Amino acid sequence: MERMSRVDRSILRMAVYEILFCEDIPPKVSLNEAIDLGKLYGSENSGAFINGILDALYLDKLAKNP
């Protein structure tokens, strides 16, 4: 975690909260917004990095709650 940039960590923290606890926000919207924020404010690889982590979280959530 300490090797991750503060920007990426903050974006992930916000998106994970939205995906897990905000029922009124579709998970795909949270995922896309986080990726866009990563591309805008993070490094050149932030969008792909955030996408990989949040996509795995989303698929795990779908598997537990079909």
Its domain, for residue 55, covers 6-64
Does residue 34 sit within a domain?
yes
Sign, CA torsion 33/19/53/41: positive
CATH classification at residue 39: 1.10.940.10
Q: How many helices (H) and strands (E) does the chain have?
A: 3, 0
42 pLDDT tier (thresholds 50, 70, 90): very high
Mean pLDDT to the nearest integer, 7-11? 96
Does residue 1 sit within a domain?
no
- Nearest CA among 33, 56, 36 for reference residue 47: 36
Does 41 score more than 90 pLDDT?
yes
Mean pLDDT to the nearest integer, 22-43? 96
Number of domains in the chain: 1
Contact 8, 49 (CB under 8 A): yes
Does residue 26 sit within a domain?
yes
How confident is the model at residue 11, as a pLDDT? 97
Contact 41, 7 (CB under 8 A): yes
Does residue 49 sit within a domain?
yes
How confident is the model at residue 3, as a pLDDT? 84
